[in-house]
A = this chain, B = another copy of it.
Amino acid sequence: MKQERILMAHGSGGLMSQRLIEEIFKSAWDNEIMAPMLDGAVFEIPAGRLAMSTDSFVITPLFFPGGDIGKLSVCGTVNDLVACGAHPMYLSTAFIIEEGFPLADLRRIAGSMAATAKETGIKLITGDTKVVEKGSADGIFINTTGIGVIKEGIDLRPSRIVPGDLIIVTGYIGDHGLSILAQREGLRFSTPAVSDCAPLYQLTALTDKYQQAIKCMRDPTRGGLATVLNEIAQQAGAGINITEAAVPVSEVVKGASDMLGMDPLYMANEGKMVLFVSAEASHDIMADLKKIPLTSHASIIGEVTSTATGMVLIETELGARRILGMLEGEHVPRIC
């Protein structure tokens, strides 16, 4: 049987576009707000603060151990909203699809987005589909833009960070980056490298509970943990000291990155969060993090200082102390 594929007419805005939306998207994520053939979706919101975050996903390969571009596109924006202290509520989705793309793959991606959204409690409410000629895009690119509600009193801006605050990372780092690289280059390890791609919506309960004690959160995606720590050090006007031995790295990532000459601190994550918390509450926060399966390997990796502001210093496993810079140049492209 001939495989069904995306045609240019699926992006015409006419009959074929309507059919594609009805058959693939509408059935995958039907909900009461979704407006598949209108110009936008309408929803009620209480007075207060909202967070808005956008990300386009251009990852290759589209399907990888631990996820696919659909799951990733929901997790990525959900995690950005969570990092703003917001409860993820609504998501728009926009597809740019290359002519000839298999409809079966599109169906699988749409299903994966629907499942992740359902798990998270976020609603996919409006969308867009464009088709470009064969050779004008690489398979499929997905944009998601999310809206979340921030409860009264929550503020996770880096300016709240003060010297003495402790820094937590919620689990093993580098898994997503290694998984994509391994898949792309055909590398095989004794333990397979699986992406950590996951929606961290359960952290909203913690930001609500520890309003005063959780100062700032950020998800270390592109550029990895090292880049995020540098950004925050700059934005907070503070110094950061971390201890390499305290950073959770799995055996497979440790082994593979030694072999490949890569540093897990610069490798991408898609299911991790970095938290800046007050020292007094750190014990309670760590205890709560360890109860959530996705953050059960959380570790205190360092602290905020008043010296060397805007910089990150690392105490290496060999006992040396050096500056840990931002990612310069390119690490692994198209990781998300």
Please report the C-alpha to C-alpha distance between residue A79 and residue B39 in the assembled complex, in whole angstroms.
9
With the chains together, A303 CA to B130 CA distance in Å?
Answer: 32
Judged by DSSP, the binding face of A is mixed
> Which A residues fall within an 8 A CB radius of B?
7-9, 11-18, 37-58, 79-81, 83-84, 86, 90, 92-96, 125-128, 130-133, 135-138, 141, 143, 145-148, 150, 157, 218-219, 221-223, 227, 231, 235, 266, 268, 325-331, 333-334, 336
Question: What are 8 sample pairs from A and B whose C-beta atoms fall under 8 A apart?
Answer: A9-B329, A11-B222, A39-B80, A43-B50, A45-B45, A58-B130, A132-B333, A133-B334
* Chain B contacts for A83, CB-based, 8 A: 39-40
Q: Is the CB of B52 within 8 A of A126?
A: yes
CA A3 to CA B22, docked complex, whole Å: 46
In the complex, A46 Cα to B233 Cα: how many Å? 34
Contacts of A148 in B (CB 8 A): 40
- Quick check: A14 and B127 within 8 Å, CB to CB? no
Beyond A40-B84, A43-B52, 5 extra complex contacts between A and B, CB < 8 Å: A15-B327, A16-B330, A41-B52, A130-B141, A137-B138
Shortest C-beta distance, A22 to chain B (Å), equals: 11
Contacts of A147 in B (CB 8 A): 50, 52, 147
Q: Which residue of B lies closest to A53 (CB)?
A: B40
Give Cα A145–Cα B91 distance, bound, in whole angstroms.
10
